[in-house]
A and B are shown apart, each in its own frame.
Chain A
Amino acid sequence: MLRRKLDLLRPAPEKRELINADDETIVAKETRFPAGVTSRRQAIGVTGTAVCASLVGTAMPALGAPAQTATPLREPTPPPALAPQADLVNVLAYEPQARLVLGPQKVAPILGSDRTVTDRITLRPRVNIPTRDLDLTSTLFGDEHFAPIIVGPIADQKRFHAEGEAAMARGASAAKAAMVVSSDASLPLATIAQAATTPLWLQVYANSPKVKDVLAEASAVRAKAVIVTLNAGTSASGPATPASARIDWSAVDAVVKATSLPVIVKGITRAEDAKEAVAHGAKGVVVSNYRGGDAAALTGTLLFVAPVVQAVGDQIPVLVDGSFRRGTDILKALGFGAKGVLIGRPVMWGLAAYGADGVQGVVEMLQTELARYMCMCGRPSLASVNSSVLRVHAALPPARINGG
């Protein structure tokens, strides 16, 4: 017995390296109980002896070789395996798949969500209202939309997928969703238009010098609307404009004058700005707090929608973007009076991980979720959705210990 204990204490050289290895998991892995130690209790006895012995040993000169420098002995991690797309159960599950494909640096601009506002709003379920004939279609700027979910503008999509906007357009079209193309797209507008069968809208930066050329191109490919992004500088990569900056309405005027297409102003958060947009010829607004460049501006926009709808909702459609990740989020926006939502990051997750199929999957998932919650709230059409579908709650007291 004693001999076996002493054998256990023999410092095998490769084990001594581990003394310096600054990684608990490695130590734990490499110091598994040796064969012959049958139970945990027995092992504790053995290690207890080892500790005592070592304490004694520290007082004596060490005869063994000095510890070598630590070498990483990590178990090779398995290569990242992309989940089959059919296994993803919600839109948020696409985010880690995009991270897998892109790696931490490339994925950074499209990570994150802010759904804290959405958690303060509940939906109002109703019963015995038939919804079998559910209809999510609506007409926006002369086109019929299958569902009020539109693929939003994201610049330079080749950053995330080799086929960039072409794959995005194919995916959006497969899901019967309209798509907004960024004027900083990585492909020519004509190429993207070729891949799309659903309406395309074009997004421009109001102060960009190339705005005239872009608008001419938009007319050439029969884009259905132009979105002017406010306060976002001149390009997606440019510096962000502070939220307090005044809106440069002359730039909006210039775009309205330069195109015959309906102009939608994106970046509205206040009722007075929405009224101003209408006065300057906007045919629609997007409630959004996107300020270009930096990805930090993520505050939920849901609570900005109702005041804007109250100000201009009877004249022009109000759209909204910002952290829509579930069908319930979208139904809440519709409840506040929005006519549609723009989806940004989630479709990029889909594109990055699965190309056009991923885009289709994300958009269809949101359509299906929206449809399910409309059914459960007894709202068979978009026209039947109003603020009575919502309950907005005050910030609630923190939960106490009632969980058991």
Chain B
Amino acid sequence: MAGFVAGAPVSAAVAQIDPSPFGEHRRALSLAEMQTAFDFEPVFRGNVSLPVYDYTAHGDGSEFNVQRNRQAFDWVDIAPARNAIPEAQVDLSSELFGVRMKFPILIAPTAAMVPLHPEGEIGMFKAATAAWNTLMILSTNTSTPVAKVAPSAPGGTLWAQFYPQQNLAATQQWMDTYQNAGCNGIIVTVDQQAAYYERSLQNRNLGGRVRTAGLGQGARGAAATLTGAARYRVNPGRLWYTWQYIDAVRKMVKGPLLLKGIQDPEDARLAIAHGADAIIVSNHGGRSMDYGPSTLEIMPEIAAAVNGRIPILFDSGIRRGADIFKALALGADGVCLGRAARWGLGAFGPAGAQRLIEILQRELVQVAAAAGCAKLTDINKTRVKINFA
């Protein structure tokens, strides 16, 4: 007996002790425990398969731009207010093309929500509407037809997004479908002309979905018959976009026409010249172009170019109320939630999406109150300090 005891492998025994003995009680947090938008992401990640998660998370190329979108919020400080006001005095309501908004927050168009949650786009629309009638923009790559989504949340406002279709008849068909379903605002996405997702390719290598159909980076060589960008193995499908096309779409859209993906003051001026009613300053959440600037960095120069002529919406990287405050201070009239809203839906379904929107709304009110801003027009450049150059 003594021998056995003496020979007991002390170090081996120590190695067996669980460094976190309560680990087996680890669990996913419940909806009631969600404190910030960030809390939703791990729950969402646990709910869906890796390709579905990565489809929401990934960005173009090295994802430098995805990271920079977030970093840029650290490069702007909110100036301490001399006189904070009570939250009850804060009213951030506004009107955007006839739509009354209690908060300057919209749901950005993002594709295929049914893989996130069975209720998909309908669930998201119900959630957005339940969260103080938050306006939702439906993606052209929706997994639920617009005719089913639009009537699913009475009282809500649904706008629709689409990618340019070179065929004008096909474009007209899209417009008819959207406008007949009751989508007044039309968003045309003009960025992401030749994006490429390395992360999704890695997934393919791990046994995920193959996403390399057609000409891609994986394709080698080039047929002698190819011309232009295709010679360099770039998919030319979206390389035809022109401002003349925007002119043509302008004539088809009865309501407001918004151009999404504007990242340059010159493009902002051109958008106005070609009849856009508003622009969305967006780099597609880092999914459009690697090594592009963050949207927050370019916001001041675009706001200067637009000079109040049309409303500017902002997206890419919003996770907190303070982020929204900074975007508004640098000239945005409203912000769109893309990934964050998807986290909410994917984590807890419509209730999660609603809760996430409400968290950001509340955070924004808290920040505005602390900064002494009672209304939207009080949130301006004087309330922040810009540290980037």
With A134-B228, A361-B220, A393-B389: A44-B17 Cβ-Cβ less than 8 Å: yes
The reply on B142 being an interface residue by CB < 8 A is no
**Segment at the interface with A among B44-52, B236-244, B345-353:** B236-244
Q: Mark B292-328, 1 if CB is under 8 A from A, else 0.
A: 1100000000000000000000000001100000000
The reply on A371 being an interface residue by CB < 8 A is yes
The reply on B205 being an interface residue by CB < 8 A is yes
Choose one: B7, B24, B236, B320; the contact of A57 (CB below 8 Å). Answer: B7
Asked if A31 and B201 make an inter-chain contact with CB atoms under 8 angstroms apart, the answer reads no
Counting contact residues on chain B (CB < 8 A from A), the size range is 35 or more
Q: Which residues in B have their C-beta under 8 angstroms from that of A28?
A: 15
Q: Which residues in B have their C-beta under 8 angstroms from that of A46?
A: 16
Q: Which residues in B have their C-beta under 8 angstroms from that of A361?
A: 220
The reply on B14 being an interface residue by CB < 8 A is yes
The reply on B234 being an interface residue by CB < 8 A is yes
Choose one: A51, A61, A63, A127; the contact of B10 (CB below 8 Å). Answer: A51
Q: Mark A365-404, 1 if CB is under 8 A from B, else 0.
A: 1011111110111000000000000010110110110111
The reply on A147 being an interface residue by CB < 8 A is yes
Asked if B4 and A11 make an inter-chain contact with CB atoms under 8 angstroms apart, the answer reads yes
Choose one: A61, A89, A360, A393; the contact of B388 (CB below 8 Å). Answer: A393
Q: Mark A323-364, 1 if CB is under 8 A from B, else 0.
A: 000101000000000000000000000000000000011001
The reply on A86 being an interface residue by CB < 8 A is yes
Asked if A128 and B264 make an inter-chain contact with CB atoms under 8 angstroms apart, the answer reads no
With A28-B15, A47-B13: A397-B387 Cβ-Cβ less than 8 Å: yes
Asked if B232 and A371 make an inter-chain contact with CB atoms under 8 angstroms apart, the answer reads yes
Q: Which residues in A have their C-beta under 8 angstroms from that of B75?
A: 396-397
Asked if A399 and B71 make an inter-chain contact with CB atoms under 8 angstroms apart, the answer reads yes
Q: Which residues in A have their C-beta under 8 angstroms from that of B221?
A: 174, 360, 364
Q: Which residues in B have their C-beta under 8 angstroms from that of A83?
A: 205
Asked if A90 and B62 make an inter-chain contact with CB atoms under 8 angstroms apart, the answer reads yes
Q: Mark B1-18, 1 if CB is under 8 A from A, else 0.
A: 111111111111111111
The reply on A9 being an interface residue by CB < 8 A is yes
* Bound form: Cα–Cα A48–B8 in Å: 12
The reply on B196 being an interface residue by CB < 8 A is yes
**Segment at the interface with A among B103-111, B150-158, B186-194, B375-383:** B186-194
Q: Smallest Cβ distance from B149 to chain A, in angstroms?
A: 27
With A31-B9, A364-B233, A399-B74: A375-B194 Cβ-Cβ less than 8 Å: yes
Asked if A373 and B289 make an inter-chain contact with CB atoms under 8 angstroms apart, the answer reads yes
Of the candidates B195, B198, B290, the one having the most CB atoms from chain A within 10 angstroms of its own CB is B290
Choose one: B3, B38, B62, B288; the contact of A63 (CB below 8 Å). Answer: B3
Asked if A369 and B217 make an inter-chain contact with CB atoms under 8 angstroms apart, the answer reads yes
Instruction: List 14 contacting pairs A-B, 8 Å CB cutoff, sorted by A.
Output: A10-B4, A19-B10, A51-B14, A54-B10, A89-B205, A123-B289, A125-B292, A127-B241, A134-B232, A367-B233, A371-B232, A375-B229, A396-B75, A403-B38
Nearest first, the 10 closest Cβ-Cβ pairs linking A and B are: A404-B38, A11-B7, A371-B232, A63-B3, A57-B6, A134-B229, A57-B5, A54-B8, A47-B16, A64-B7
Give residues in B with beta carbon < 8 Å to A. Answer: 1-18, 21, 23-24, 36-39, 41, 61-62, 64, 68, 70-71, 73-75, 190-191, 193-196, 198, 201-202, 204-205, 217-218, 220-221, 227-229, 231-234, 236, 239-243, 245-246, 259, 261-264, 266-267, 270, 283, 288-293, 319-320, 387-389
